[in-house]
Amino acid sequence: MPTTNTSGRRKTAVARIYLSEGNGAITVNGKDYKEYFPTLPLQYIVTQSTEVSGSTGKYDVLVNVAGGGVKGQAEAVRLAIAKAIVELDAEKKPALRAKGLMTRDDRMVERKKPGRRKARRRFQFSKR
């Protein structure tokens, strides 16, 4: 089986993955995913696509991820793995779609506006 490469994005994080047949090793930026994402909720997010599709332990995943925070990076990796699994086996798409793993979450941080402290927060008002 040749290597399948896809990408996933979330907020400003971009994950590029290379999926090939193997024993289930997930390497993120040269480290094991459990070392890169130390908390259990983040580790669950990363492996969620393989668990839902029933392909745990079937593929090795090599991930390059950049930008954003750890949560955004984990969700970008999840989307990329789901897209790669569907590319290899289209029959798994309905199960992944039902869990919402095939949809890119397009919410981004709202930009700061002039005359405001943040995007919507105004400066503190003083009568003096």
The DSSP string of 7-55 is EEEETTEEEEEEEEESS--EEETTEEHHHHS-SHHHHHHHHHHHHHHT-
Residues 34-90 have pLDDT tens digits of 999 999 999 999 999 999 999 999 999 999 999 999 999 999 999 999 999 999 999
CA separation for the pair 111, 5 (Å, rounded)? 32
User: Which residue, chain included where needed, has tokens 């798409």?
Assistant: 93
Q: Indicate the number of domains in the chain.
A: 1
In a domain, 116, yes or no: no
- pLDDT recorded at residue 128: 79
In a domain, 122, yes or no: no
Coarse DSSP helix, strand, coil percentages of the chain, rounded to the nearest 5 percent:
35, 25, 40
Whole-model pTM above 0.85?
yes
Question: Which residues span the domain enclosing 65?
Answer: 4-99
CA separation for the pair 68, 38 (Å, rounded)? 17
88-104 average pLDDT score: 95
By percentage, how much of the chain surpasses pLDDT 90? 96
Tell me the average pLDDT of the chain.
Answer: 95
Q: What is the CATH number of the domain that holds 23?
A: 3.30.230.10
